Structure 1
């Protein structure tokens, strides 16, 4: 499978995708400021600066970081932004402890099996390590993510309750653009298998796959026209179609 080069791309009006090693975070430029959705890995710092500079901005110009969940590959820049630039991260309270200890996560299958079962994915795993996947600092968060209640951050993102991948996972709907930031509740690249297309992340990093499957219904009812996942390419076929594909794909 061809690997994407690290980079910054425009994926919707006012939305920049920041990608390295199969990990995405998104910079949302709204009329009232800048919001970062998920905080990637430590090695994505220069890409974040590039994205901000393209908007004539700097890290301190961020109003907030909103986190879909607390895994290490989604909080990697949070503590640096908080400590050095005064930018707070927000997460659902059920994932607050995980954000402080982002390697202590529940999962249904042993992680060590996957490189043996999917050896073609080893280059991706190597690139994750090179991007700082083993050196993430946990972070303190504000726990003001309330499902269904628009957040007081630029873009007025609406948290979509979607537990299963983690206990407190939430997607975020940007109603103005019709985009759903689905985090790891619905991805188009499974980092543990290398498989592409709409799917769930493997049980190696998912707390409760059966609950995650049920959460797909909550994502579907948003009727988002664009799915922006935590891993993999944007999906332009709409969230209902993405959910149907994910159900057929099953869980590795």
Structure 2
């Protein structure tokens, strides 16, 4: 699905993958679930591109629902996969996420699990090699993605700012659709290692300007970075 001139999305509001499409090639932000491969190739066909146009995958963190087809691209097509050094072991399957579920609503949680199963979430292939990145890096990839450390959800969580696409990819730094409750709108993401640190990390994004705030789960947000962060903070307050 085309969101903007340089911006495409596959998946849905449960799990989303984003493509930055430029004249120099394509950067993939996160790799969803293994079953998103078919949607990836269909989207490439729709824009007249091929797998050969993908120059790199940038992971916002190393959780399994963001690894999806990353190893397939790396292994079979030589596409480098970038992950923050603090999440490299997680992306290789050497360190497991804590996966604290917290508050859930059965129907929403069941929908998330069913979607994950249908899309191959039970057969995640971990990465065998990663290209490590760090806070402040500007990667030599289409769109010149800039890496902003956003620890909390995981130690190596990052946001990815791509000015050419007017987009800020936040991974699970926040969500606009809670996969375990179905609640919509900007809010803290579930399965977060350190909730307090995740909220504090959002301060790093406060001065950024981008039309699009794009989480790994939930609808694209186009009402401003600062408004998204404010709504997350409100949602995080004890009720």
Output the TM-score relative to the length of structure 1: 0.88
Taking structure 1 as reference, are residues 189 and 43 closer, same or farther at Cα in structure 2, changes over 3 Å only?
A: same
> In structure 2, what is the Cα distance between the partners aligned to 1:140 and 1:58?
24
1:114-143 superposed Cα distances (whole Å, 9 cap, x missing partner): 5xx411212232112111111101003433
The structural deviation recorded for 1:154 is 0.8
3-state SS, counterpart of residue 139 of structure 2: coil
Residue 73, structure 1, aligned to residue 71, structure 2 = no
Q: Which runs of 5+ in 2 are unaligned?
A: none
Question: Which of 141-150 and 212-221 deviates more?
Answer: 141-150
The within-5 A match list for 1:49-68 is 49-68=41-60
> In structure 1, what is the Cα distance between the partners aligned to 2:215 and 2:13?
14
> In structure 1, what is the Cα distance between the partners aligned to 2:180 and 2:200?
21
Q: Which runs of 5+ in 1 are unaligned?
A: 1-8
Aligned to 1:247: 233
Over the aligned positions, Cα root-mean-square deviation in angstroms equals: 1.8
Aligned to 1:143: 131
Q: Which of 96, 118, 136 is the matching residue for 2:105?
A: 118
Residue 161, structure 1, aligned to residue 149, structure 2 = yes
The structural deviation recorded for 1:60 is 2.7
> In structure 2, what is the Cα distance between the partners aligned to 1:222 and 1:124?
31
Whether the aligned pair in 2 keeps the contact of 1:21 and 1:128 (CA below 8 Å) is no
Output the TM-score relative to the length of structure 2: 0.93
The within-5 A match list for 1:185-224 is 185-202=173-190, 205-224=191-210
Aligned to 1:228: 214
